[in-house]
Amino acid sequence: MSDGALQGGLAAQTATETGVSDLAMSLSKRIRPAMTKLYVMYFRVAEQSDLTGPQLSIMSRLQENGPSRISAVAQAEGIRMPTASNALHQLEQRDLVRRVRDESDRRGVRVELTPLGETELVRVGKERELYLAEMLDSLDDDDLRDAHELVDIINRLADAYSAGVISDNGK
């Protein structure tokens, strides 16, 4: 089956067949193209950094959760162990993370941010916050008020998604 046929078959599924409400599907179709554009632009912004989005995500999780086993990083990021191990190795080579013995199990190893990793994460975060603020500042006052109303909803969605609350069927 060609990619086009596969995509056509998936697109032809009704909301009832996927277990997703018609309203959620309609919103998804309207939002997805813009989210893709914004995502690409947002992750291109770090002018002084060549860290990838996934690397920054891993570093952010380490900042939030503290030293973590590689398996926990992989699970939290929704990636396979070899992928997490490779990403962490790349970060370790740049002195952004380091491996430390797990005090509760001396055989285990955890990874943590280094001071340089903390500094880089803060710097890139500030750079991206400024870029996002500049994007939002291009909106008129009415649109800014509407965007303000969406902040809590977007944060709840991100929290639910990252916590694994949303399962394969969307609920």
- Per the structure, how many domains does the chain have? 1
Please provide the distance, in angstroms rounded to a whole number, between the alpha carbons at the two ends of the chain: 30
Asked if residue 10 has pLDDT above 60, the reply is no
CA distance 162 to 165: 8
The answer to the question of residue 148 being in a domain is no
The answer to the question of residue 171 being in a domain is no
Q: What is the pTM for the complete model shown?
A: 0.71
Q: How does DSSP classify residue 96?
A: S
The answer to the question of residue 145 being in a domain is no
The answer to the question of residue 15 being in a domain is no
Residue 163 has a pLDDT of: 58
Residue 69 sits in a domain whose CATH number is 1.10.10.10
* Stretch (H or E) spanning 101: strand 97-101
- Identify the domain containing residue 61 by its residue range: 21-138
Asked if residue 111 has pLDDT above 50, the reply is yes
The answer to the question of residue 12 being in a domain is no
The answer to the question of residue 146 being in a domain is no
Asked if residue 144 has pLDDT above 50, the reply is yes
Structure tokens at 27: 């919103």
Nearest to 55, CA basis, from 35, 71, 72, 77: 77
The answer to the question of residue 78 being in a domain is yes
Q: Sheet harboring 68-69: ordered strands across?
A: 68-69, 109-113, 97-101
Taking residues 68-93, report their average pLDDT.
93
The answer to the question of residue 125 being in a domain is yes
